[in-house]
Structure 1
Amino acid sequence: MCMSISKHEYALVPLNIPTHKNRHIDIVRQAFTPPGAPKMAEDLPDKHKAMVPWIYDLGLWIFTLCLDIFFRQVYPRGAWRVPKNAPVIIVAGPHNNQFVDSLVLMRILKSYANRRVSFLIAEKSMKEPYIGTMAGAMGALPVARGMDKAKAGKGTIYLPNPDDDPTLIYGEGTDFTVPDFMEGGSIILPKAGKEAPATQTIAEIVGPTELRLKNPLKTQGAIDQLTSSKDGKRGSTFKVAPHIDQSKMFDAVFHELLSGGCVGIFPEGGSHDRPNLLPLKPGAAIMALGLLARDPNCGLTIIPCGMNYFHAHKFRSRAVIEFGHPVAVHPDQIEAYKQGGNEKRNAVGSLLETIHTALAAVTQLSPDHETLQLIQASRRLYSSANKKMPLSLVIEFNRRLLQGYSQYQNDPRVVQVKKSVLEYNRRLLALGIKDHQIEWGNLKERPWGLTLITLFSRVIELLLLSIGTLPGLLLFWPVFVISKIISVKKQRKALAASEVKLQGRDIVSTWKILVAMGLAPALYVYYTVIMTAWLYHNRHAGYYSDYLPWWMHARTYIPDFVPLWLFSAFFFGLMIVVTFAALRIGEIGMDVLKSLPPLLVALNPRSASTLQRLRARRQALSVQITDLINKLGPEVFPDFDPERIAEDTSRTDAFESRLKSMPPSRPESRGSRHADSPGVGLFGHSTSFQPLSTLDHKDSLTEVNKKIRDAMQERGQERGRERRQSLINDHDDEDSD
């Protein structure tokens, strides 16, 4: 599920509505919408009507079974932060699994907060016969996205004067006066390398070959596209997307929230398979500020949620879903939003930056996959991380290493370590083994004969497991094959239509689950009907059965006193059991199969010596990485502790948002802002960046030192309170650290 909302000038209507605990739905029906907008749930369009609770719960139960099959483990962290009885906006990212992200959050919120959530979903997804029907009954709120209606523009566009007038766009072979172009619409450039495609709003249509953008383009790649020449043509091809009126969608969202409901949103605007966040759309900030402008006492809570997956598109993968500290909206932002114009823009932009910071605190954001692989390898090689860590701590460790790397990536020591780690990974790939398997074939600790015996025992174990998996594989291979074919087809289609996807893996798991949900029960019914008909034939057509061998007679196994309906129910349940057994046995078999390569490498005389040298290289690299982290850590984080790897406990309050003036343009996109955002130390606690005062005399320095001492004392007290509170939470919350 995904959404994309453009900034929308929305009329403000003052309301006098009691707090959420005493609010009645009739009050909302009477007072909260502007003239001409729907005022009652019955008056809303069908696609905006409220969810059907029993369908929601039944559908969620079915989806939960599918999620338990697809994922090996889904670990919720911090779910206790979600209020149980107040309006809530869940802001989730990165959106790496098309519909699965929503299903995972729905399950966690129902289990840990007993809340049903209405997600914003792209309107084009609602047109899918199966998905749209289920999503509508489960309370999804459709959003029309301009990008879904984008069309290829005629001709090319270019920047005639990028330095002095960066918002002026000229066209060659264009006609900007046709209906496809409109003020408030968007110009979309092609994807440049691995960067997300540049998009900017049209502010004014000057003429057939001239228009003006609302803001300058933000990335250097986009500017290069519009200032280059190719084949005698200046500039670049482009797409144009219309302006979408989102008033009805906002009506539905405000109605849900003012009723004390929960709304989920993926602010990136669409699913993708990148290791970082796409630039956030302003919809989440507009929702929060619009609601608080109408009812400042409604009790709204904005909760950031990090969707952290380990191989999100693969079967039996793992995930850590982390709910962060809430985002607090400042009253000045609400007042500025009410004023409209540039003040409203500042309010939306400043709140959106805080939301981005909050999301960065619960996700592991990497500029590219190579950097993420580097960080993961460094985590494994760091000496204090050799012991087995829970999934939540793995995510926390990766996040802090990424934050440290973003600051020191150009340091010669870090550059050298990066080169060594990447070379080490290449050698592992050449041998066909993983880092954690490098000790499995250690002939010094495990003699050659014992290694050979281990290999034979695991091969025999694999054969036995294969026999156990064979019945399920023979019966249900159509599900595996068809789900693979359809998911690959959908992957290619989505990749061709998207400008932000790298390989289209974000939709693979979604379609595997959807196809299995529809095809597996149909296959169960098919086999049940065949076996029931065969039993009926044996009982009522004995003459023809005499020509069959005894072991093919159904009556040999099923006594005559067993009714057909009971046999059908039993056989249908048996098919489900066989499926789960095959999946579980197959999972164990795959683990055994993955353990064979290092044993084969150790027994091969030509590769055994290479493995020994690689093991020695790993030990030296581990010492190098450990020393480097221990040296750089204290330079960045004063409370760095190499003996302890723990979560950030210094922040006990919300992410405080502040109103500030937003610059008209930025040298970089929001997608790269996380490198400079506040964060937590490698192994210490969080450090928030505040503007530094000008030190013009000794008294100023004394005052600063006093503030630092007071802040350190206050932080120590907060740590003590947090530890005491965690002891209490340990009895009530399994997510407590």
Structure 2
Amino acid sequence: KFAAELGRGDKVRFAGSTADLKISEVLSDAHAIADDDPDLETLPSSEHALPSEPATFDVMKRVDQKVVYEKVLDELASGGTLGIFPEGGSHDRTDLLPLKVGVALIAYSALEKDGLAVPIVPVGLNYMRGHRFRGRAIVEFGAPTYVNPDTLDSYKRGGADRRKACNDLLEEIEDAMRSVIVSVPDYEALQLVHTARRLFQKSPNVDARDKQDMSRRFAEAYKQLVARAGTDPPQKWLDLQERLLAYRRELSDLGIRDNQVPGLDRERRHAEAGNYDGDDVLGGGRLLYHIVHLVWVLCLAAIPALFLNIPVGILARVYSDRRRRKALAASKVKIHGRDVVLSE
């Protein structure tokens, strides 16, 4: 029932696709014409493959953003700032979704209306356990991107010229965003990248910026190796991946983290050297006594807190998991839906 459900300017998104098709004309209840979108050609085939058989789809009604854009431009003209999520929504993927054109339209409109060269600053949110309580997140700011004034005439001409100018700016913004995140094809690849980076770095005392930069270099190398190898990767590459995976499994089985491994080696060397004396034994006994005493005191103090907090924790876990499954069922871009666990 296209005539009743669709209108000019509406967008449709098929199940399993992250690309939107903009409707330019509705011919009948069974036929509609969509605008040609050159961005589809630049996306991975799995992201924009159109169905060859009847499939379900979502309809996104056209919204008149004129008032919103006017307020945004007034805020920028007064020296204010604006936070934009150009992917259009939250997700738990390890790479960017196709960027929406709104950020480019705002930047060009500010340049056209007020002569403002608005700095577009990329902000990267990087985390490994964003769905866990007290999970660590790293916020990184990159170098700003500006609209090229020479392309303003193309934007003013409208049509295909405007679309090309906006798409070129979006490509620059996407490159800037990739400079502040670690983008890989999937979560397994992200785990491999972080494991390789931790094994490669010589000192454990590396600040967050250097860690992120090193992780990005490993991620870029991983993507280049995958692209060059294609469907027939070299055996050395497969062996290296298997060794990294085996190392991760061994750490998980032992219940330790990667940064604790050097400490285990120091303890082993100390034991093999036979450098234990009476003071070491006495000191170890005192340490054991203090640990047992501390654990006993903490257990006594924790009993009231357990009775108070366990019901709240159980309810929060059940509720957040229910909301996660609901968000996952309603989304076409989420993988596990973990991005809504803590926010819910």
SS across alignment from 1:300? coil
Deviation at 1:345, TM superposition (A): 0.6
| 1:205 equivalent among 18, 26, 47 | 26
CA distance in 2, matches of 1:222, 1:387: 38
Deviation track 1:449-487 (CA, whole Å, cap 9, x = no partner) reads: 98x967886565444434444444444445434433332
Give the equivalent residue in structure 2 for 1:185. 10
Q: Does the alignment pair 1:406 with 2:230? A: no
CA distance in 2, matches of 1:223, 1:441: 49
| Secondary structure, counterpart of 2:212 in structure 1 | helix
Q: 1:212 to 1:299 in 2, by over 3 A?
A: closer
In structure 2, relative to structure 1, the CA distance for the partners of 1:224 and 1:322 (3 Å cut) is closer
* TM-superposed deviation, 1:439: 4.7
Contact 1:280 1:352 in 2 (8 A): yes
Structure scoring higher RCO (CA < 8 A, sep ≥ 6) equals 1
Query: Hey, what does 2:269 align to over in structure 1?
Result: 445
Which residue number in structure 1 is paired with residue 153 of structure 2?
335
Distance 1:441-1:481 versus aligned 2 partners, 3 A rule = same
Q: Map residues 236-635 of structure 1 onto 2, 5 A cutoff.
A: 236-296=55-115, 298-382=116-200, 384-409=201-226, 410=229, 412=234, 413-442=236-265, 444-445=268-269, 447=271, 458=291, 461-511=294-344
Query: How much has 1:268 moved relative to structure 2?
Result: 0.6
Letter in 2 for 1:176: F
Number of matched residues?
A: 323
Shift of 1:248: 1.6
Q: Answer whether contact 1:201 1:213 (CA < 8 A) is retained.
A: yes
Aligned-pair distance for 1:388?
2.3
Corresponding residue of 1:176: 2
What is the DSSP-based 3-state SS (H/G/I as helix, E as strand, rest coil) of the residue aligned with 1:262? coil
Unpaired runs of 5+ residues, structure 2, are none
Q: Partners in 2 of 1:439 and 1:215 — Cα distance?
A: 57
8 Å Cα contact 1:225-1:235 kept in structure 2: no
The letter for the 2-side match of 1:496 is A
Q: Which amino acid aligns with 1:374?
A: L
Deviations 1:297-344 (A, max 9, x none): x35222111112241122222222111111021112222212211111
* Residue 226 of structure 1 pairs with residue 59 of structure 2: no
Indicate the structure (1 or 2) with the bigger Cα radius of gyration: 1
Query: Percent identity among equivalent residues?
Result: 35
Mark the CA change 1:264 to 1:222 in structure 2 (over 3 Å): closer, same or farther: closer
Q: For residue 209 of structure 1, what is the amino acid of its counterpart?
A: A
Rounded Cα–Cα distance in structure 1 between residues aligned with 2:296 and 2:322: 33
In the TM superposition, what is the alpha-carbon distance from 1:263 to its structure 2 partner?
A: 0.8
Q: CA deviation at 1:212?
A: 2.5
Q: Is the CA contact 2:13–2:19 (under 8 Å) kept in the aligned structure 1?
A: yes
Q: Which residue of 2 aligns with 1:547?
A: none
- Check conservation: 2:19, 2:48, Cα contact below 8 A: no
Q: 1:459 to 1:352 in 2, by over 3 A?
A: farther
Segments of 5+ residues of structure 1 without an aligned counterpart are 1-174, 228-233, 512-737
Q: Structure 1 pair 455/279, CA: closer, same or farther in 2 (3 Å)?
A: farther
For 1:212 and 1:485, the matched residues in 2 are separated by 44
Q: Secondary structure at the match of 1:239?
A: strand
Match for 1:419: what amino acid? E
The question of whether the paired residues in 1 share the 8 Å contact of 2:131 and 2:339 is answered with yes
Q: Is the 8 A contact 2:127 2:138 kept in 1?
A: yes
Q: 1:499 to 1:458 in 2, by over 3 A?
A: farther
Give the Cα–Cα distance (whole angstroms) in 1 for the partners of residues 293 and 181 of structure 2: 42
Query: CA 1:329/1:444 → structure 2, altered by over 3 Å: closer, same or farther?
Result: same
In structure 2, what is the Cα distance between the partners aligned to 1:286 and 1:188? 22
Distance 1:427 1:305, change over 3 A: same
Q: TM-score, normalised by structure 1?
A: 0.41
Comparing 398-407 and 199-208, the one that deviates more: 199-208
The answer to whether the 8 A contact 2:6-2:59 is kept is yes
Preserved contact between residue 323 and residue 362 of structure 1 (Cα < 8 Å): yes
Q: Which whole-Å CA distance do the structure 2 matches of 1:303 and 1:335 have between them?
A: 24
Return the offset for 1:203: 2.6
Q: Deviations over 1:356-408 (max 9, x none)?
A: 011111111121111110011101111x4343212222212111111122112
Q: Tell me, yes or no, if the aligned pair for 1:185 and 1:241 is still in contact at 8 Å.
A: yes
**Following the alignment from structure 1 to structure 2, what is the Cα–Cα distance between the partners of residues 222 and 378?**
28
Alpha carbons of structure 1 residues 289 and 445: separation in structure 2 relative to 1, 3 Å = same
Distance 1:456 1:276 in 2: 50
CA contact (8 A) 2:145 2:173 kept: yes
Q: Amino acid of the residue matched to residue 266 of structure 1? A: F
- Matched letter for residue 141 of structure 2: F
* Deviation by residue 1:5-54 (Cα, 9 ceiling, x = unmatched): xxxxxxxxxxxxxxxxxxxxxxxxxxxxxxxxxxxxxxxxxxxxxxxxxx
Deviations 1:519-559 (CA, angstroms, capped at 9, x unpaired)? xxxxxxxxxxxxxxxxxxxxxxxxxxxxxxxxxxxxxxxxx
Q: Which amino acid aligns with 1:249?
A: V
TM superposition shift of 1:491: 1.8
Given that 2:126 and 2:137 are in contact with CA atoms closer than 8 Å, whether structure 1 keeps it comes out as yes
Give the drift of 1:204: 2.7
Match of 1:701 in 2: none
Output one character per residue of 1:198-253: Cα deviation in whole Å (capped at 9) or x when no partner.
Answer: 422223323332222212654433676623xxxxxx34222222222211211221
Question: 2 CA distance for matches of 1:441 and 1:459?
Answer: 22
Whether the 8 Å CA contact 2:324–2:337 is kept in 1: the answer is yes
Q: Go from structure 1 to structure 2 and tell me whether the alpha carbon gap of 1:357 and 1:224 turns closer, same or farther (over 3 Å shift).
A: closer
Residue by residue over 1:407-427, the C-alpha shift from the partner in whole angstroms, topping out at 9 and shown as x without a partner, is 123362433312221232233
SS at match of 1:273: coil
The one-letter code sitting in structure 2 at the alignment partner of 1:346 is K
Instruction: Tell me which amino acid in the other structure corresponds to 1:444.
Output: R
SS in 1 for 2:320: helix
In the alignment, the residues of structure 2 paired with residue 400 and residue 462 of structure 1 have an alpha-carbon distance, to the nearest angstrom, of: 43
